[in-house]
């Protein structure tokens, strides 16, 4: 067995002596807790928390974070409790350890649920204290560095998780060096053969390219010196994963990837960045469209640099980054710079502000997500932004993911703006809400007081904030509408038994709620509206019917009492797309679990088959005398195939006061062609007027309502 590692106090020399002493105490405490435990490599377990603390010391984190790093596995892997850690090392350290610890002691439905819940807990703890994620990232980095010791299946799973979640989080927090190392390590384990082949090919080309790279570096230094610009110029080799991504995305072979080397130019201030850029553009020709100014418009994680691509000697593409010393420190260390360079607090305030805003948005998304899987889905959306930058009417810059739409922009401005938006203007021109935004556009959102989110928005929004807000609103709306429908269904069931809702006292309700396993009367009503409970069963419980009395009474589902359909029930009532019922049709209703009440035409073949198979799911429904909305109905028209016939048909439909929702036409068009219209009409009489108007057209050969 390998020897137990010793705490090297020289690595923590930036701390006060009293803090180093406390750190040594935490090391001894952790060593005793993990005594006898080993890693899969055979090393004593304490070597892992010690390595994590040393990584954090490289970022110069404070003593509380380092103590938490040394203790981060004791709650998970030993009998030590949070209270013991709090008593010995203080509540802040205990909270950090708790934030990093996994939830292994809770039972989940699946491994995916457990993983998602772990991420949710970690990220919410991070929103309160960013040191939680820094400890977790250091923990993941050491695990990735020692991943060769674990089984291949677990190796691939952990590497995939790192690539999918942890590396993007490191990038989002501006930890550039860590981001690239995690990506490289994950790539080496997810695609080991490809990694080895690329590494070998890169080593083989180094000798050939070294002369070219040296020549370019000397030319850059000489040209900058000539312009009296003091700069540190370094050549760097591109990471293997970046080369691999380029080969995959652009379908290139390794020999076709020329820009394997890049250069970084570090100058003293912003103005010198732009001066140096002009000098380099005179030295080598710039590649059109490859210049990016992240100084004027920083990335969401605070990253600032000028990026340009040039055509160097022998036609070799050269990538160059230009930045100041301060920008360079931030680019490498991100939020960890707060601890590394405390003297630069003012310059770091913008980065901290952006990080805080992102972390707060996580809390907002969490509060609206139904479960951990949904939260993780929203998070992944925000971790792969590939940003597009747009302007508000007042000139504020917003960063959104690539392919973000006007709806994403509306929610990025404010949740209420998103919920009430009806249209958008891009550079002063009206556009649909699903319009994808492009860099530099000026966006204005038009709202109305009566508007509300549309479920169709979920098909094209890109940001986690927009997605979670839309889902939250729809769930709330469905909850309220389902409760109202449930109340009407229960009223129908009580009337069928010869009673009214007013006869039910509070005691009966409390007993029924308790016996049903629900938390409140409202929850019982919602379950009724969503088809999760049968109205007759709840009615019997409220009326205190015994099983024998129920059998005797044979309480009918409907005794001439019907649920009235007004058309204002929203998502709680759906109109079957197989037969598209409209007011005036004889109708029946089916209680579908999770969907609520689905209304069919009484003679609908699909409804007839289902009624025979599941008679208990069906209830009597009838139309309100004056429904307050339009309903969809379908018409099939066979028309003469000639120029302008569609315009004539559409004109007659509009003249009859109906809206056209969709039109489709058969592909095989000879003398005649068949059109299928989905119209919005008030009732059967309105539909009849539309059909009479269409039959007057000589071009219409046949016309029929589509009921199936």
CATH number of the domain within which 247 lies: 3.30.460.10
65 and 127 assigned to the same domain: yes
Final residue of a domain: which of 146, 168, 190?
190
One domain for residues 157 and 242: no
Q: Determine the pLDDT at residue 443.
A: 92
Last residue of a domain, one of 588, 623, 658: 623
Indicate if 27 and 150 belong to the same structural domain. Answer: yes
Are residue 223 and residue 126 in the same domain, yes or no? Answer: no
**Do 213 and 332 share a domain, yes or no?**
yes
CA distance 488 to 486: 5
Which residues of 410-534 form beta strands (DSSP E)? 421-426, 429-431, 443-447
What pLDDT does 189 receive?
93
Q: In this structure, are 224 and 323 located in the same domain?
A: yes
DSSP bridge partners of 589: 599, 619
Q: Is 76 a catalytic residue?
A: yes
Instruction: Give the single-character DSSP code of 106.
Output: S
Residue 364 falls inside a structural domain: no
State how far the Cα of 591 lies from the Cα of 93, in Å rounded to an integer.
Answer: 53
Q: Tell me the β-bridge partners of 673.
A: 639
The catalytically annotated residue of 9, 19, 62, 76 is 76
pTM of the model: 0.57
149 and 272 share one domain: no
Structure tokens at 653: 């439909």
- Token digits of residue 324: 């100041």
**Would strands 659-665 and 306-311 be described as parallel, antiparallel, or unpaired?**
unpaired
**Residues whose CB is less than 8 angstroms from the CB of residue 6 and which lie 6 or more positions away in sequence, other chains included:** none
* Residue 569 belongs to a domain: yes
Q: SS3 string of 21-59?
A: HHHHHHHHHHHHHCCCCECCCCCECCHHHHHHHHHHHHC
CATH number at residue 123: 1.10.3210.10
Which of 141, 142, 162, 158 lies closest to 150, judged by CA?
158
pLDDT at residue number 363? 61
Considering the domain boundaries, does residue 211 fall inside one? yes
Give domain status of residue 384, yes or no. no
Among 448, 356, 446, 362, smallest CA distance to 407 is for 446
Residue 389 domain-assigned (yes or no)? no
Q: Are residues 180 and 219 in the same domain?
A: no
pLDDT, tens digit (0-9, with 9 covering 90-100), for 676-696: 999 999 999 999 999 999 999
Segments of the chain scoring below 70 in pLDDT: 1-2, 102-128, 206-210, 258-260, 300-301, 333-387, 544-562, 571, 593-595, 667-669
φ/ψ (deg, to 5) at 5: -70, 155
Of 170, 190, 210, which closes a domain?
190
Domain coverage including residue 639: 631-706
Cα separations in angstroms, 523 against 78, 206, 490, 512, 516: 41, 68, 13, 12, 10
| 245, 266: one domain | yes
129: nearest Cα among 162, 166, 102, 92: 92
456 within some domain: no
Note whether 611 and 638 are same-domain residues. no
| Six-digit token string for 680 | 């919005």
Q: Is 239 a domain residue? A: yes
Quickly list DSSP for 258-294. ---EEEEEEESSHHHHHHHHHHHHHHSEEPTT--EET
| C-alpha span between 639 and 698 (Å, rounded) | 9
Q: Is residue 418 part of a domain?
A: no
Residue with tokens 């250069």: 263
Work out whether strand 587-592 and strand 429-431 pair parallel, antiparallel, or are unpaired: unpaired
Among residues 9, 77, 161, 622, the one annotated as catalytic is 77
Looking at the structure of the chain, the number of domains it has is: 4
Instruction: Give the pLDDT of residue 348.
Output: 47
What pLDDT is stored for residue 557 in this prediction?
A: 41
pLDDT given for residue 112 in this prediction: 61
Q: In this structure, are 74 and 219 located in the same domain?
A: no
Query: In terms of domains, do 591 and 673 share one?
Result: no
Backbone dihedral region of 498: left (phi > 0), alpha (psi from -120 to 50 degrees) or beta? left
């Amino acid at each position: 067995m390998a020897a137990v590692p010793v705490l090297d106090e020289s690595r923590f020399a930036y701390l006060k002596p009293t803090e180093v002493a406390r750190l040594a105490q935490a090391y001894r405490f952790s060593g005793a807790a993990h005594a006898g435990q080993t890693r899969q490599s055979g090393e004593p377990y304490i070597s892992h928390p010690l390595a994590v603390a040393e990584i954090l010391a490289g970022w110069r984190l404070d003593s509380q974070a380092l103590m938490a790093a040394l203790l981060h596995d004791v709650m998970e892997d030993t009998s030590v409790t949070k209270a013991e850690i709090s008593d010995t090392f203080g509540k802040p350290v205990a909270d950090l350890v708790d934030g990093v610890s996994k939830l292994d002691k809770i039972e989940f439905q699946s491994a995916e649920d457990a993983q998602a819940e772990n991420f949710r807990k970690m990220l919410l703890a991070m929103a309160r204290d960013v040191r939680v994620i820094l400890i977790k990232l250091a923990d993941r980095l050491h695990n990735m560095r020692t991943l060769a010791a674990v089984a291949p299946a677990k190796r691939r799973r952990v590497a995939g998780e790192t690539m999918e979640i942890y590396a993007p989080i490191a990038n989002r927090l501006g930890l550039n060096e860590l981001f690239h190392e995690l990506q490289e390590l994950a790539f080496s384990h997810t695609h080991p053969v490809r990694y080895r082949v690329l590494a070998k090919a890169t080593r083989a080309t180094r000798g050939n390219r070294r002369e070219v790279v040296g020549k370019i570096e000397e030319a850059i230094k000489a040209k900058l010196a000539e312009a009296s610009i003091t700069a540190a110029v370094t050549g760097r080799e591109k990471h293997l994963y970046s080369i691999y991504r380029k080969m995959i995305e652009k379908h290139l072979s390794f020999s076709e990837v020329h820009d394997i080397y890049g250069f970084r130019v570090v100058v003293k201030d912003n103005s010198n960045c732009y001066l140096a850029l002009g000098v380099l553009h005179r030295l080598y020709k710039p590649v059109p469209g490859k210049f990016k100014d992240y100084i004027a418009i920083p990335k969401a994680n605070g990253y600032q640099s000028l990026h340009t691509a040039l055509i160097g000697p022998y036609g070799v593409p050269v990538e160059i980054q230009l930045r100041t010393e301060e920008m360079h420190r931030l680019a490498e260390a991100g939020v960890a710079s707060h601890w590394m360079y405390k003297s630069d607090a003012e310059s770091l305030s913008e980065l901290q502000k952006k990080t805080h805003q992102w972390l707060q948005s996580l809390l907002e998304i969490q509060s609206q997500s139904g479960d951990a899987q949904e939260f993780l889905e929203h998070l992944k959306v925000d971790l792969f932004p590939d940003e597009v930058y747009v302007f508000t009417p007042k000139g504020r810059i917003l960063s959104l993911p690539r392919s973000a739409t006007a709806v994403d922009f509306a929610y990025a401005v404010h949740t209420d703006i998103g919920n009430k938006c009806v249209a958008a203007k891009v550079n002063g021109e009206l556009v649909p809400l699903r319009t994808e935004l492009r860099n530099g556009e000026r966006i204005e959102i038009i709202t109305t007081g009566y508007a509300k989110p549309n479920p169709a928005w979920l098909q094209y929004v890109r940001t986690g904030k927009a997605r979670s807000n839309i889902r939250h609103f729809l769930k709330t709306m469905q909850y309220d509408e389902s409760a109202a429908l449930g109340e009407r269904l229960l009223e129908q069931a009580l009337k069928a038994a010869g009673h009214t809702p007013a006869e039910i006292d509070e005691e009966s309700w409390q007993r029924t709620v308790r016996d049903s396993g629900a938390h409140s009367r409202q929850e019982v009503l919602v379950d009724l509206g969503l088809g999760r409970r049968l109205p007759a069963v709840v009615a019997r419980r409220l009326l205190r019917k015994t099983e024998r009395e129920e059998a005797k009474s044979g309480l009918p589902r409907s005794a001439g009492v019907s649920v009235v359909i007004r058309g204002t029930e929203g998502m709680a009532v759906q109109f079957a797309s197989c037969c598209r019922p409209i007011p005036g049709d004889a109708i029946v209703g089916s209680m579908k679990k999770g969907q609520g009440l689905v209304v069919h035409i009484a003679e609908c073949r699909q409804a007839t088959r289902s009624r025979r198979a599941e008679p208990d799911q069906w209830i009597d429904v009838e139309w309100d005398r004056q429904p307050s909305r339009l309903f969809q109905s379908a018409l099939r028209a066979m028309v003469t195939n000639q120029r302008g016939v569609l315009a004539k048909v559409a004109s007659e439909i509009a003249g009859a006061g109906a809206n056209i929702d969709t039109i489709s036409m058969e592909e095989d068009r000879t003398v005649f062609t068949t059109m299928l219209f989905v119209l919005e009409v008030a009732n059967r009489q309105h539909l009849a007027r539309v059909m009479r108007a269409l039959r007057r057209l000589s071009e219409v050969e046949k016309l029929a309502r589509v009921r199936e």
